[in-house]
Amino acid sequence: MTNEVAIQGIRGSFHDIAAHRYFDGQDIELVCCDTFEQVFDEMRSGGARYALVAIENTIAGSLLHNYELLLESGLTVVGEYKLHIEHSIMCLPDDSWSTLSEVNSHPVALMQCYHFLKKHPELKVVETDDTAGAARDISEKRMAGHAAICHKDAAELYGLKVLEQGIEDNKHNFTRFLVLTDPWNADLVRDTRTANKCSLVFSLPDEEGSLSKVLSIFSFYKINLTKIQSLPIIGREWEYLFYVDVTYDDYIRFHQSLEAIKPLTRELKNLGEYVAKK
């Protein structure tokens, strides 16, 4: 069976690479979207069975808007994938370093290759909407003298030549992606007996020590807190939603901890249980 997977970006993008690696060995069909909002729209309309969405980066931090989109969507987290972000510079087969005059890519990718680009002051740096999109445009429009910065896999897809790989400044750059699906499908595809990680969201009363009480309960039940992200609740001054990722070894103890914190929280919601990826 073919699984439709909605991603932000096009073929050759980091979302594409993460999707194929997560669903390795399975037949998938990408539903490519221009924005993350469109990804969630595809899920609402039934245009895709899964969505794969970036949620945080080790350098840039959390993608805060995607947390909001996830909560509003009602989708369930059924998996995660951590992709090592590597950048390469590529051009048309007939071009070379001596013929290049411009380099195109997404502003984040350009920023992550700052020191490499500093060594090539002869190249005019031009921002584009997408890393793989820059490679596609150079290929389709036969843009001689232009180079793209993106993942090396895009070169084969678009018939380009890789001039240099691993040009990113930080070699420890990873993006974490969440795999999402409808709750009814989540019950079919996941096995909670093997799950050891959960994403939660809750709010707290405006009382002294309210967060520390919740964290103390997690500690008592030996639940490991791997991430906590707070976002303000629009229209409710000085109130926040806390997005929390936890890992656990004992599924029963984990659910006991949820029952224990429930009276201390407001709007506690389990966003999904899944297998943690190292």
| Active site residues per annotation | 175, 177
**115 vs 167: CA distance, rounded Å:** 9
Contact (Cβ atoms closer than 8 angstroms) between residue 243 and residue 231: yes
Contact (Cβ atoms closer than 8 angstroms) between residue 127 and residue 205: no
Phi, psi of 268 (to 5 degrees): -65, 125
Residue 19's nearest CA partner among 106, 81, 93, 99 is: 81
**27 vs 35: CA distance, rounded Å:** 24
**47 vs 40: CA distance, rounded Å:** 10
**117 vs 169: CA distance, rounded Å:** 10
190-207 burial string, b = 16+ CB within 10 Å, else e? beeeebbbbbbbbbbeee
Give burial (CB, 10 Å; 0-12/13-18/19+) of 86: middle
**What letter represents residue 124's amino acid?**
K
**76 vs 50: CA distance, rounded Å:** 10
Structure tokens at 278: 């190292």
**46 vs 181: CA distance, rounded Å:** 10
Contact (Cβ atoms closer than 8 angstroms) between residue 150 and residue 135: yes
